[in-house]
Amino acid sequence: MKRVLGLVCAAAMAVGGVRAGAAEGVGKHTFAVAGGEFQLDGKPFKLISGEVHYPRIDRSQWRSTFRMAKAMGLNTITAYVFWNEHETQPGVYDFSGQKDVAEFIREAGEEGLFVILRPGPYVCAEWDLGGMPSWLLKDKTNPLRTPDERYMGPVRRWLKRLGKELAPLQVGNGGNIVLVQVENEYGSFGKDKEYMKASRAALVDAGFTKAVLYQCDGPTEIPNDQLGDMPVGGNFGPSRKKSEDGTSGVAKNMALYRKNRPVGPYIVSEYWDGWFSHWGGPWINLDPQQQARELEYILTHDSSISLYMFRGGTSFGFMGGANNSGPADYEPDVTSYDYDAVMDEAGRPTAKFFLFRDAIERATGVKAAPMPEAPKLEAVGEAKLTESAALWGSLPKAVKSEHPLTMEDLGQSFGYLLYRTTLKQGFTGTLDLGVMHQYARVYVDGVLQGSVDRRELQHSVEIVAKAGARLDVLVENTGRINFGPKMLGERIGLLTDVSAGGKVLTGWEMFSLPMSDVGAVKFKGDGCTGPCFYRGTLEVAKPVDTYLDTRGLKKGELWVNGRNVGRFWSVGPQGSLYVPAAWWKAGRNEVVVFDLDAAPGRSVRGVDHLVNDFGSGVKVK
């Protein structure tokens, strides 16, 4: 009982709330592991954390999100670092603006929050290739997540550069980073403990020596990769089978975690308080009452916790990943990372927030801080898409090759890749694309013949073509797999030869279409059908948080004032895209869409909510 009271008192000191919007700051502390427990300033300490991803929340909302975390009773924020956000080309780094992860961590500290840092290099997170840059795949033999120098060389270089940004913010240097994770759930990928040692050495060499290093994995996978001399977190989700008190499932997971890790300290380093949704699938919602009971159970059974997620946010642009599940071992994730989290995509507290707040108060005996004002969503009117530009008239210079090259071969990460060749002979029959990642449209002389969708195990279409016809294959990266060994083969485009009636086609031109600068598109007033850009304007009296309803569109991307909001797709379940207030300006705003099935007369309009029950997806309570 004395030990429990000690933990509660320590939590009480650190969970103190923000008053009148003032940042208290965490101050200077010592943080260590002793006697099988975490200790802050030499006293037992329980981390009560929630995950927040800096690229998924506009920078203008970081601080308000932290204040909400304090108001729910959290004393810590957990944060991944996304390598592919910062090193888009080998040796070229960017930590500016939205990518200023050091400022993200400093602001958390100013709001009285410690930080659990998860620097990767692999992070999973339903993020393209699990946060690793796609240029690693240009070498087809690069053995990702192994001690091989072809992988570890770039990893060490990256972590050393990251250390310049973040090592000064460790608790031992007067900052607020108390834990630093070594790799991420490696036991779900492999069993190479030499790799884990190399990963830890890379972090130490990068200067991460003034915080506690730790590992994490699922309770079952812990034996695969634990080194034995670092704390190990356990990752698991809520019980799916209900019991009388609602805690039998979490008790079983905790028991397995402790069995495979007999020595503390204990932290449920990812408690999955929600789940992600796939294009064409249902919207996932879990039982908040069940989760609140499990949260309270964990906190009252000698364990720290990190909620995954506290606020999920949005996988803006092309950054959403894909899971290795479903019939084809491929299910791409929707743009929204709402995650059924404690705070919704737009940063508003959900019913789950208040259930969790009460559970934390009961477990710690500490009254939560007052609630800050929540953001309000508003509809912003309608943008009629009146100007257009056909994709065929917006092509860059081609790269020629006898056989198809992938995006990675061409130094491209995201967007589309157009393959073009001329059919020397007339042909009616099956065009086989072989291995294609991830989604393709096939055209003959500009006429659509059909689509090929990796989700559906498709690889061919029937075509009719005359001799000398132009064959176009437009391939979209709908998100690289971000979990499991299948990541190793996540090159984008045509990975093998294309054949017509069994005969290999050669003599290809390839047009890289990363869609990184829609400002360069030359729009006209006439209509366009098929793969086209469309542009319209939207008048906004004042910048507000809103969603743009995309249910009148088919498949593509949307930009507001040149910033890529994300993907839309009529297969559902997501039918609107979140646009934060900071992306708007008072007055005239430009809205651009690229749609594979564009047509005149369409528009997008503002709505004050997330549409998550559209198309073939069915909302799950």
Residues with catalytic roles:
185, 270
Closest CA to 305 of 38, 62, 56: 38
Residue 587 three-state SS: strand
Q: Cα separation of 240 and 344, whole Å?
A: 22
Closest CA to 72 of 15, 23, 111, 116: 15
DSSP 11-53: HHHHSPPP-TT------S--EEEETTEEEETTEE---EEEEE-
Q: What is the 3-state secondary structure (H, E, C) of 77-108?
A: EEEECCHHHHCCECCECCCCHHHCHHHHHHHH
Which CA distances in Å does 427 have to 307, 423, 506? 57, 8, 15
**How many Cα neighbours within 13 Å face the side chain of 47?**
33
- β-bridge pairing 304-311 and 267-272: parallel
Q: How far is CA 174 from the centre of its chain?
A: 30
Judge whether 403 and 552 are in contact, CB under 8 Å. Answer: no
Q: Cα separation of 516 and 520, whole Å?
A: 10
Closest CA to 319 of 86, 79, 480, 491: 480
Query: How many other β-carbons are positioned within 10 Å of the β-carbon of residue 376?
Result: 11
Judge whether 521 and 416 are in contact, CB under 8 Å. Answer: no
- β-bridge pairing 576-579 and 546-549: antiparallel
Asked whether the CA dihedral 251, 253, 255, 261 is positive or negative, the reply is negative
Q: Which helix (H) or strand (E) holds 526?
A: none
- β-bridge pairing 555-560 and 43-44: unpaired
**How many Cα neighbours within 13 Å face the side chain of 123?**
26
Which CA distances in Å does 316 have to 275, 319, 420? 18, 6, 30
Q: Dig out the tokens for 464 from the structure.
A: 């009719």
Q: What is the 3-state secondary structure (H, E, C) of 140-187?
A: CCCCCCCCCHHHHHHHHHHHHHHHHHHHHHEHHHCCCEEEEECCCCHH
Q: Cα separation of 314 and 282, whole Å?
A: 18
Query: How many other β-carbons are positioned within 10 Å of the β-carbon of residue 47?
Result: 25
